[in-house]
Structure 1
Amino acid sequence: MPPRFVTQNHKDLQNTEGKEKEVEMEMKMEAQRDILAHRGSLSVRSWYPVGTVLAGLYSVSPVAPPPGMATRLCFSVEYRHSSEQLMVSLMRLGNLPPRFHGNVTLVEVRLLPDDRRPRQAKARGTGPDPEFSDCFVFQVKTNTCIEVPCVLMLCFCLRESSVRQAGSVCIYTKLGDVQISLCYSPSLQRLSVVFLRARGLQLLTGAGVCVQVSLQIHTQVVKSKRSCVLNGEANPYFNYRMSFKLRPQNLDEACLRFELQQPNSIRSEPPTLLGVLVLGPFMYARGPQLQHWMDMVNTPQEPVKLWHGLSRPI
């Protein structure tokens, strides 16, 4: 019979309970000594079931295509200082237009200005979100991108009867600087802007360069103006003058957005953005861009001229 069914007298039960209490007290004292000896560590002296590992929780889910209708290229860039190597990994394209779903998609990667021969990757399959699994390695010394600005250019093409470019993405290590003059007249309610010149631009083609200036209030673009296209050179002189109607009560909720553009060889395609700059109050800008705007507001009727660095297009 199991022990719990064995009859015992009252004295034996008391002796058994006393021994169990002594053993329990000894275990507690030993556990306390172990805790003090380890000073914060805890030693587990028994085995406990932990169940099974659910492999699905640790699988890497595919990169979801971005929302909206814009075509996007998903890739990663890593620079390894120890080996002075630039690693470019291609993952996938997202949201290709329906007319391209049956075509084979290619991506060409090159590092300008030295790497003139493109490296090519072919998508694995067709459809709206073709996937890639390619990694390219560029040998780039640490000081190279500081002394000579570099451009990482990725172009995706469609293989039809002939290969043609369908889009491109550019990453700049240094985009260049622009010099701008601002002046505000409260009596005339007029904001005068002079886009003087640019320097160190990283032009992708010889199609020339222009600047588009937009006045924006909150999220609404009130008015946009574009300069003429200048010859393709890294340090163009614009001296492009324009003015916008702006009431004093809107000075704290308005901003100016400057876009350096290169016209596309295909007229129906949008221009290529070389860099952007936003000047405005605290709602839109920080640092020198904010200070330039505040100096203009605090010194009415006087032009304020300053150099600014371009930012990456978003």
Structure 2
Amino acid sequence: MESKKSKEENNLGTLFFSLDYSFDANLLKVHVKKATNLPAMDIGGTSDPYVKLFFLPDKKRKLSTKKTNKKPIKVFGIYDYDRFGKHDSIGSVQIPLSSIDLAEPFCGMKPIKSLTQTTLGDICFSLRYVPTSGKMTVGILEAKNLKKMDAYGLSDPYVKIYLNRNGKRLKKKKTSVKKNTLTPYYNESFAFEVTQEQLQSVELVIKVVDHDQVGSNDPIGKVVLSKKATGQALKHWMGMINVPRRPVALWHTLEPDED
């Protein structure tokens, strides 16, 4: 039996729309009619909703009748406009075009679904330490199953690397941004100077962030490694120390970023 909380999270309203495809002009016309029973996103108990339209697997791709292994999906992203900050995502509606007969105009209604995801994803990176030179090399390799941060069901992830000591940030670096993916591949390396003495007290923070062109970037999750860490993080840290000069690569499950 579905819990009351689960029902409330799934009760995000209904979107009414129509699709009309012209085979001659190779053009899809989308009419967003209305949305009903949207949740209140503002303190006053209302919302300022608007809808963004996306086309997957490529947001810039035009509708085509050519055969492809990737099935096109029309996505309606429903947002709450915020004048003073980042616009909040209410939910989304995804329409696989393969499930609709576009020979005739289509009028439909679909429940708006939440983008909530319980897991944040996993990241694989390598650590290498050379005691004689005091050089620590962090190799950001890839990530998978990242949390969906955008209404069209993808993210624009990049990785931040922080080297901290006693609560102070010593160094920070970041990877390039990978567009429209939940499985980014980076293969980028970053070097830090860390003495063997500092190695006993520093912490390394690997943070995955979703890049946003408008507003602030959203953290997806992080991994914190140090001599005081536990589990997989401690195993990786000690592996780096116990096997010097060789890169040690491991997968980690991202933890919530509470900063």
Q: TM-score, normalised by structure 2?
A: 0.59
Q: Aligned with 2:5: secondary structure?
A: strand
How far did 1:119 drift?
Answer: 3.1
CA distance, structure 2, for counterparts of residue 88 and residue 294 of structure 1: 45
Structure 1 alignment gaps of length 5 or more: 1-81, 91-108, 112-116, 126-131, 134-153
Of 226, 232, 251, the residue aligned with 1:288 is 232
Q: Aligned AA for 1:292?
A: H
Larger Rg: 1
Alignment coverage as a number of residue pairs: 178
Q: Which residue of structure 2 lines up, in the alignment, with residue 26 of structure 1?
A: none
Q: Which residue of structure 2 lines up, in the alignment, with residue 220 of structure 1?
A: 168
CA distance, structure 2, for counterparts of residue 187 and residue 234 of structure 1: 38
Of 101, 120, 141, the residue aligned with 1:175 is 120
Q: Aligned with 2:233: secondary structure?
A: helix
Matches within 5 A, 1:141-180: 157-158=81-82, 165-166=86-87, 172-180=117-125
How far did 1:172 drift?
Answer: 3.6
Equivalent residues of 1:172, 1:312 under 8 A apart: no
More strand by share: 2
Of 151, 156, 177, the residue aligned with 1:229 is 177
Q: Aligned AA for 1:298?
A: N
Matches within 5 A, 1:199-218: 199-205=144-150, 208-218=156-166
Q: Aligned with 1:302: secondary structure?
A: coil
Q: Aligned AA for 1:197?
A: E
Q: Which residue of structure 2 lines up, in the alignment, with residue 86 of structure 1?
A: 5
CA distance, structure 2, for counterparts of residue 198 and residue 207 of structure 1: 12
Q: Which residue of structure 1 lines up, in the alignment, with residue 40 of structure 2?
A: 121
CA distance, structure 2, for counterparts of residue 123 and residue 190 of structure 1: 50
CA spacing shift, 1:86–1:270, aligned 2, 3 Å: same
Matches within 5 A, 1:73-112: 82-87=1-6
1:183-202: per-residue Cα shift (whole Å, max 9, x none)? 10111111011011001112
Q: Aligned with 2:39: secondary structure?
A: strand
Q: TM-score, normalised by structure 1?
A: 0.50
How far did 1:203 drift?
Answer: 2.8
1:257-289: per-residue Cα shift (whole Å, max 9, x none)? 1111111231xx32111111111111xx21110
Higher relative contact order (CA 8 A, sep 6+): 2
Structure 2 alignment gaps of length 5 or more: 14-34, 47-77, 91-114
